[in-house]
Amino acid sequence: MIDNALLQKKSNYKKLNLRQKTLLYLVVSVVFLLIILIWGGFMDKNSYGVDFTVRNNPPSLKHIFGTDWMGRDMLTRTIKGLSTSLIIGVVASLVSCVFAVIIGSACAIFGKKIDKFFLWLIDLFQGMPHLILLVLISILTGKGTVGILVGVALTHWTTLSRIIRAEILSIKGEPYIVIAKKLGTSNVKIASKHILPHIIPQFIVGAVLLFPHAILHEAGVTFLGFGLPPEEPAIGVILSESMRYITSGYWWLAFFPGLALMLMVFAFDAIGHNLEKIINPNTGQE
Split into its structural domains, the chain has a count of 1
Q: What is the pLDDT of residues 53-65, one digit of tens each?
A: 888 888 988 889 9
In a domain, 189, yes or no: yes
Distance CA 50, CA 68 (A): 9
Query: Residue 191's domain spans which residues?
Result: 84-258
Q: In this structure, what CATH number is given to the domain that contains residue 124?
A: 1.10.3720.10
Residue 119 belongs to a domain: yes
Question: Taking the model in full, what pTM does it have?
Answer: 0.79
Give yes or no for residue 6 having a pLDDT over 50.
no
Instruction: Give the mean model confidence (pLDDT) for residues 179-199.
Output: 80
Does 170 reside within a domain? yes
Phi, psi (deg, nearest 5) at residue 129:
-60, 125
Residue 285 lies in a domain: no
pLDDT in tens, 123-137: 888 888 878 888 888
The pLDDT value recorded for residue 280 is: 65
Question: Residues with Cβ < 8 Å from 29, sequence gap 6 or more?
Answer: 267, 268, 270, 271, 274
Contacts of 30 (CB under 8 A, 6+ apart): 271
Lowest mean pLDDT among 116-125, 185-194, 199-208: 185-194
Mind listing the pLDDT tens digit for each residue in 247-273? 888 898 899 999 999 988 888 888 877
